[in-house]
C-alpha cells in the first residue's frame, strides 16, 4: 500500500469546507466555543481565500431582506422562495435564514466589503432582494474574518475529505487526505458541520476541449456534501431540484444585473420576446404561472420552447437596454456620461465575478452598447443554496418549525451530531452567499449547543479507519502496479483514469438524465437506463487509478459526483410529474400534479444494506 503517514486530529466541532457557510460557521463557533471551552477545527480541500463558489468574486449579494428598513417583511421573502420553487420549500428554514441575513450583510460591510451606495447613503439594489457590490475580493474578505475568529492553528487547508466516520447512529468524524503531502487524515469529533458545497460536472457541460473546466459553477465543488451525508445515512431532500442557470453563452456570465438593474429584454433570433409571446403557456403551471416574478424555471422554460421551435439563438439585448437607460437622461453631456457609466458597469459586472466572460467579450469584439450577446440555458448543477434545492433534510428551529420538521437542534440532519449548511442543507433555496453564511452561523451555534449537551467523544473503530485508508489510497497503488501495461498513461486494460470516468458519468447523465443533449427531457425508460449505466460505473470505480495526489483527488471527486447523480436520478424517477419545466421535463408525466405531488421527495441510503428508501414528506405552509 502507498506509504502514507496517518495524522489523527481530535476535536469537538469539525467544520468541513471553507466556503461561505463554513466561514459563517467559523465566526459564530469561535464566539460560542470560547464561552464553553470547545475546540473547533475547520478543514478545506483548497485555500480558504479563494475556495468554493465565490472564488472569482461576485457582483451582487443576492439575499438582503431589509427588515429593519421596512423594505420587506419576513413573509414576503418566504412567499418569494415558495413561489420560485413551485410550492416546494421548507418555509421554517427559509424564514430562519431570512430573519438573520441582514445582520450578516452588515458584518460583510464591517469586514471591508464595498457595497454600492446611492447619494443618500442607501444600498443600491440590483433587484428587490439583491444588492450591488464591488465583489472581486468578496471571498478573501470573508475568509480573513473566519481565520481571525478561529485562529490559523485550527484551520487545515488542502485536505480533501472523503468519508464520514460513524459511531452507531452518531457521527464520529471524517477521513481524508492531503492533496500536497503523503498524509492520511483521521478527524475525530463530537459534532460535524458539513458545508462542502454543491456539485458541478455531473452533467456534460456545453464546453469542450480546452474550455472543458469552464462551467457556470466552478469545477471544484464535486458533490462532497451530498456524498458525505448520504454515506452517513442521512435523509436527503429535493434531490430532483437541480439548477439550470441561463447565462451568457460560453463564458457563463451572470444575467441578473442585465434583467434587473439594466431592465434588459431577451429576444429570439427573429426578434420576438419569449416572455411576452409565450405568456399564455404560464397558465399551464398555475398557481405558480401567475406569480411575480415568474419562477426561474418557468422563465427558462419559455426561452427553451423558442429554442426547441428553432427560433434560437436567444440574445440579451444589451445594446437596447444601454440605449434606453442613457436616453432617459435629457442633458446631452450628462447622457454621454451616463452611457460611459453604464458601459463600465456592464464590464465590471463580469470582472467582479466571471472574468472569463469579460475576456470572451474582448476576444470576440463584443461592445455591449453596440451589439447584443447570446444567452443560453446551461447544463444542470446541484446548488441548493441558489435556485436549486438539493441537500440534506435538516431540523428547523424550535420556534418556527412544526413538529414534523423539528428534532432537537436547528440544521441537524437525521444523523445525530451531523449539521448541514449552505448547499449541504436542502429545501431552503435562495440563500445565496449571504444566506449561506448566515445558515453556517445558525448551524454552528446549534452544533456547539449539541456538543455541550452531549459532551462525550464518540468511539472510532480504528480497524474500520485502516480499511478506509486502504480503499481511499487504492487508486495510487493500482496505477503503480499496472502503469507499464500500456504506453499511454491514460489508456490501460487494468484501470481507468478519473477523467475518463467523468466522461462516462457525464454522457449517461446528459443523454438519459435530461441534460443539454436531450433538451432537458427524460422518461421512465431513460431514467432506468441511466441507473443501469451508473450501476456499472459504480462497479468500475474499483478500477480508478491515480498518478499522483492531484489525480487521487480527481478520483474521489468523481466517485462523489456519481453518488450525487444516482440520488438525482432515483428522485426524478420517483416523482411522477413535471413540476419544474425549464429545469427538467418528464415526457411521460408532462404535467404538474398538485393533488399527489405537492410534497417533498426524500431519499435515504441505508449504509448497512445498501438499499435506497424513497418517500414523500408533507409540505407545511407556515406563512399564509
Annotation marks residue 247 as catalytic: yes
Interacting residue with ligand SFD among 13, 38, 61, 81 (CB under 6 A): 61
Residue 375 in the binding site for ligand SFD (CB under 6 A): no
Interacting residue with ligand SFD among 14, 15, 29, 43 (CB under 6 A): 43
**Catalytic one of 84, 235, 345, 349:** 349
Closer by beta carbon to ligand SFD, 16 or else 496: 16
Residue 217 in the binding site for ligand SFD (CB under 6 A): yes
Site string for ligand AMP, 238-277 (x = CB under 6 A): -------x--------xxx--xx-----------------
3 state SS of 166: strand
Q: How far is the CB of 618 from ligand AMP (least distance, A)?
A: 26
Q: Which residues contact 426 (CB under 8 A, 6 or more apart)?
A: 90, 236, 237, 238, 239, 384, 389, 390, 391, 392, 393, 394
Site string for ligand SFD, 436-475 (x = CB under 6 A): x---------------------------------------
Distances (CA, A) of 605 to 192, 231, 344, 612, 613: 19, 7, 50, 4, 6
Cβ contact 256:266 at 8 Å: no
Buried b (16+ CB within 10 A) or exposed e, 347-360: ebbbbbbbebbbeb
Please count the other Cβ atoms lying within 10 Å of the Cβ belonging to residue 248: 23
Annotation marks residue 561 as catalytic: no
**Catalytic one of 433, 434, 436, 558:** 433
3 state SS of 265: coil
Q: How far is the CB of 44 from ligand SFD (least distance, A)?
A: 5
Closer by beta carbon to ligand SFD, 214 or else 575: 214
Between CA 565 and CA 610 the distance in angstroms is 16
Q: How far is the CB of 344 from ligand AMP (least distance, A)?
A: 18
Residue 293 in the binding site for ligand AMP (CB under 6 A): yes
Distances (CA, A) of 273 to 2, 254, 279, 305, 367: 60, 19, 10, 12, 22
Annotation marks residue 180 as catalytic: no
115: its cell numbers: 457595497
Bond from prior residue into 467 cis (ω within 30 degrees of 0): no
Residue 549 in the binding site for ligand AMP (CB under 6 A): no
Residues written for the chain: 624
299 binds, among ligand SFD, ligand AMP, none (CB under 5 to 8 A by kind): ligand AMP
Q: How many residues bind ligand AMP (CB under 6 A)?
A: 13
Annotation marks residue 540 as catalytic: no
Cβ contact 77:222 at 8 Å: no
Closer by beta carbon to ligand SFD, 151 or else 590: 151
Interacting residue with ligand SFD among 108, 123, 129, 160 (CB under 6 A): 160
Q: What are phi and psi of 613, to 5 degrees?
A: -115, 125
3 state SS of 419: strand
Annotation marks residue 126 as catalytic: yes
Closer by beta carbon to ligand AMP, 161 or else 302: 302
Annotation marks residue 349 as catalytic: yes
Stretch that binds ligand SFD, among 45-53, 107-115, 399-407, 538-546 (CB under 6 A): 45-53
What is the rounded end-to-end Cα distance, in angstroms, of the chain? 60
197 binds, among ligand SFD, ligand AMP, none (CB under 5 to 8 A by kind): ligand SFD
64: its cell numbers: 438582503
Please count the other Cβ atoms lying within 10 Å of the Cβ belonging to residue 162: 24
Q: How far is the CB of 480 from ligand AMP (least distance, A)?
A: 45
Q: Which residues contact 320 (CB under 8 A, 6 or more apart)?
A: 264, 265, 372
Site string for ligand AMP, 327-366 (x = CB under 6 A): ----------------------------------------
Q: What are phi and psi of 575, to 5 degrees?
A: -80, 105
Q: Where are the beta strands (DSSP E) in 461-524?
A: 491-492, 495-496, 521-522
**Catalytic one of 129, 216, 393, 556:** 216
Q: How far is the CB of 260 from ligand AMP (least distance, A)?
A: 6
Between CA 485 and CA 175 the distance in angstroms is 32
Residue 391 in the binding site for ligand AMP (CB under 6 A): no
Cβ contact 512:463 at 8 Å: no
Interacting residue with ligand AMP among 114, 127, 272, 313 (CB under 6 A): 127
Q: Using the structure block, give the residue that is written with the C-alpha cell 480499511.
A: 467
Annotation marks residue 62 as catalytic: yes
51 binds, among ligand SFD, ligand AMP, none (CB under 5 to 8 A by kind): ligand SFD
Buried b (16+ CB within 10 A) or exposed e, 103-115: ebbebbeebebeb
Which helix (H) or strand (E) element contains residue 16? Answer: strand 13-16
Residue 368 in the binding site for ligand SFD (CB under 6 A): no
253 binds, among ligand SFD, ligand AMP, none (CB under 5 to 8 A by kind): none
127 binds, among ligand SFD, ligand AMP, none (CB under 5 to 8 A by kind): ligand AMP
Residue 296 in the binding site for ligand AMP (CB under 6 A): yes
DSSP-derived pairing of the beta strands 131-135 and 159-167: unpaired
Q: Which residue minimizes CB distance to ligand AMP? A: 256
Residues 257-296 that bind ligand SFD (CB under 6 A): none
Residue 185 in the binding site for ligand AMP (CB under 6 A): no
CA angle 418, 421, 422 (to 5 degrees): 150
Binding site for ligand AMP (CB under 6 A): 62, 127, 130, 245, 254-256, 259-260, 293, 296, 299, 387
* Interface positions with ligand SFD (CB under 6 A): 16-22, 43-46, 51-54, 58-62, 160-161, 195-197, 216-217, 220-221, 224, 254, 256, 353, 385-386, 422-423, 432-434, 436
By annotation, the residues acting in catalysis are 62, 126, 216, 247, 349, 386, 433
Amino acid at each position: 500500500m502507498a506509504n502514507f503517514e496517518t495524522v489523527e486530529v481530535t476535536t469537538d466541532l469539525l467544520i468541513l469546507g471553507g466556503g461561505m457557510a463554513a466561514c459563517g460557521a467559523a465566526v459564530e463557533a469561535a464566539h460560542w466555543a470560547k464561552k464553553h471551552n470547545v475546540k473547533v477545527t475547520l478543514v478545506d480541500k483548497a485555500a480558504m481565500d479563494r475556495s468554493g463558489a465565490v472564488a472569482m468574486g461576485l457582483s451582487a449579494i443576492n439575499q438582503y431582506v431589509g427588515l429593519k428598513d421596512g423594505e420587506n417583511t419576513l413573509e414576503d421573502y418566504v412567499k418569494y422562495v415558495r413561489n420560485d420553487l413551485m410550492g416546494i420549500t421548507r418555509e421554517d428554514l427559509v424564514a430562519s435564514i431570512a430573519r438573520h441575513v441582514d445582520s450578516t450583510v452588515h458584518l460583510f460591510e464591517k469586514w471591508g466589503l464595498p457595497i454600492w451606495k446611492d447619494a443618500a447613503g442607501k444600498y443600491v439594489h440590483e433587484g428587490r432582494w439583491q444588492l450591488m457590490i464591488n465583489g472581486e475580493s468578496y471571498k478573501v474578505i470573508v475568509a480573513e474574518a473566519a481565520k481571525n475568529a478561529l485562529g490559523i492553528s485550527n484551520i487545515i487547508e488542502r485536505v480533501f475529505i472523503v468519508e464520514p466516520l460513524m459511531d452507531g447512529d452518531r457521527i464520529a468524524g471524517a477521513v481524508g487526505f492531503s492533496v500536497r503531502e503523503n498524509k492520511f487524515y483521521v478527524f475525530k469529533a463530537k459534532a460535524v458541520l458539513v458545508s462542502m458545497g454543491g456539485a458541478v460536472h455531473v452533467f456534460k457541460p456545453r464546453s469542450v476541449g480546452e474550455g472543458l473546466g469552464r462551467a457556470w459553477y466552478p469545477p471544484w465543488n464535486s458533490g462532497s456534501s451530498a456524498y458525505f451525508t448520504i454515506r452517513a445515512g442521512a435523509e436527503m431532500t429535493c434531490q430532483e431540484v437541480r439548477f439550470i442557470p441561463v447565462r451568457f453563452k460560453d463564458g457563463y456570465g451572470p444575467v441578473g444585473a442585465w434583467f434587473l438593474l439594466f431592465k434588459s429584454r431577451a429576444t429570439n433570433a427573429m426578434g420576438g420576446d419569449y416572455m411576452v409571446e409565450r405568456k399564455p403557456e404560464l397558465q399551464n403551471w398555475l398557481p405558480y404561472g401567475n406569480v411575480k416574478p415568474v419562477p426561474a424555471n418557468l422563465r427558462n422554460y419559455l426561452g427553451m420552447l423558442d429554442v426547441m421551435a428553432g427560433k434560437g439563438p436567444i440574445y440579451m439585448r444589451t445594446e437596447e437596454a444601454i440605449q434606453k437607460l442613457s436616453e432617459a437622461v435629457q442633458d446631452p453631456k450628462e447622457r454621454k456620461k451616463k452611457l460611459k457609466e453604464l458601459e463600465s458597469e456592464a464590464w465590471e459586472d463580469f470582472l467582479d465575478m466571471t472574468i472569463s466572460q469579460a475576456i470572451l467579450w474582448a476576444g470576440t469584439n463584443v461592445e455591449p452598447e453596440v451589439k447584443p450577446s447570446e444567452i443560453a440555458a446551461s447544463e444542470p448543477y446541484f446548488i441548493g443554496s441558489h435556485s436549486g434545492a438539493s441537500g440534506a433534510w435538516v431540523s428547523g428551529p424550535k420556534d418556527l418549525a412544526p413538529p414534523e420538521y423539528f428534532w432537537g437542534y436547528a440544521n441537524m440532519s437525521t444523523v445525530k451530531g451531523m449539521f448541514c449548511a449552505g448547499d449541504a442543507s436542502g429545501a431552503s433555496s435562495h440563500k445565496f452567499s449571504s444566506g449561506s453564511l448566515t445558515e453556517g452561523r445558525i448551524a454552528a451555534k446549534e452544533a456547539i449547543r449539541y456538543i455541550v449537551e452531549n459532551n462525550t467523544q464518540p468511539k472510532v473503530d480504528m480497524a474500520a479507519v485502516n480499511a478506509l485508508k486502504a480503499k481511499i489510497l487504492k487508486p495510487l497503488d493500482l496505477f503503480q502496479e499496472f502503469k507499464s501495461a500500456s504506453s499511454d498513461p491514460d489508456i490501460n486494460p487494468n484501470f481507468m483514469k478519473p477523467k475518463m470516468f467523468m466522461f462516462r458519468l457525464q454522457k449517461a447523465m446528459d443523454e438519459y438524465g435530461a441534460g443539454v443533449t436531450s433538451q432537458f427531457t427524460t422518461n421512465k425508460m431513460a431514467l432506468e437506463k441511466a441507473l443501469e449505466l451508473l450501476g456499472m460505473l459504480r462497479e468500475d470505480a474499483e478500477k480508478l487509478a491515480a498518478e499522483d495526489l492531484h489525480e487521487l483527488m480527481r478520483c474521489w471527486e468523481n466517485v462523489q459526483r456519481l453518488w450525487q447523480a444516482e440520488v438525482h436520478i432515483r428522485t426524478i424517477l420517483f416523482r411522477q410529474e413535471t413540476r419544474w419545466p425549464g429545469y427538467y421535463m418528464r415526457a411521460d408525466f408532462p404535467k404538474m400534479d398538485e393533488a399527489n405531488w405537492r410534497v417533498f421527495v426524500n431519499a435515504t441510503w441505508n449504509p448497512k444494506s445498501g438499499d435506497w428508501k424513497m418517500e414523500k414528506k408533507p409540505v407545511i405552509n407556515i406563512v399564509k
